[in-house]
Amino acid sequence: MKNGFEPTHILENYLPSDVESQGYAVLMRWDNPLIDPQGNRHYIEDSRDKVRICTINFEQRRISSFEEFQSIAEYFIGVAADYKSDFVVFPEFVTMSLLSIMNKKLDPVESLEHLAQYTEPFKKFMSEAAVKYNTNIIGGTHMERDAKGFMRNVCYIFLRDGAIHQQLKIHPTPTERERWGVRGGDKLSVINTDKGPIGVLVCYDSEFPELTRHLVDQGAKIIFVPFATDTRQGYLRVRYCCQARTIENQCYFVLSGNTGNLPRVQNMDINYGQSCILTPSDFPFAKDGIAAETDTNAEMVAIADLSIGDLIKARNNGTVRNLKDRRHDLYSVTWKGK
């Protein structure tokens, strides 16, 4: 059993002639670490094993037009494509710089109405860029009203096959609720990509461990976290929680944040960010559990190759095996949403 064999059940009358066992036998199971236990039992050394990630530490700045925003975003998408990245990640509230176009301070209602006009152009641009540059885009978040008139903080995911997915922020912060009237979503599902299933948690959502466990239980091995924080304390809350989630769930976390200032935009006037790619803490992974990170408050990218195979091996034969060692007889995570 020290080699990973697990008893499954007792076999009666397996060898009746054996006196010492009284004819009983124990059926044991051993999981091959080179086989993914989820999916179609494919060998992990396939084209999906290595995943290259490019995460952006994005500078919020005053701009004069939507075309200028497009130009800045496309530059970073092009950089990611030049390095053959499978995913490029933008931060929470990435479109907030569009509020600087009017060059005046807007109240929350005016701000939201102004942003609403850019929803469809933003989605069209990002979707076309994902196909053009052959990379999957985690499009940060955009504030918009839903069909019922509720304000939502939405992360759009643009795949290079042309598909568009979305993930609502589940837990709005007190500031989002009180100043913007943001409502939380009630759905959280993995998104199937050409590099396997992924999950998205928007900023504050990463601080609730049940959400990560729900995504990992669905097969996610990489969790993307677009975030926006204004202080070091706020940033470290997100980062420390994400690092803990990588250990608890033996998965990767990718964070993308903002830097720069938008003096005339409420709730985005200052930013503090350091984007990073985090791993579990075990021998196959990066030192300190950090595959790559940007400088603090500098506009730049961080790029790293992640091995899905290393995750599967660690889950089965790692120094510790957090997922396998869970006590399902004592506790579990149950999703009650839609």
Catalytic residue ranges: 92, 169, 203
Q: For residues 200 and 264, what is the distance between their CA atoms, to the nearest angstrom? A: 29
Q: What is the distance between the alpha carbons of residues 178 and 191, in angstroms, rounded to a whole number? A: 30
Encoded amino acid at 188, one letter: L
Q: Name which of 252, 324, 254, 332 is nearest 33 in CA terms.
A: 324
Token pair belonging to 75: 């530059």
Ramachandran category for residue 22: left, alpha or beta (phi over 0 → left; psi -120 to 50 → alpha) = left
* C-alpha to C-alpha distance for 255 and 201, rounded to whole angstroms: 10
Q: How far apart are CA 279 and CA 285, in angstroms?
A: 6
Residues 6+ apart with CB under 8 A from 177: none
- The stretches of the chain forming alpha helices (DSSP H) are 66-82, 108-116, 119-132, 174-175, 209-217, 232-249, 308-317
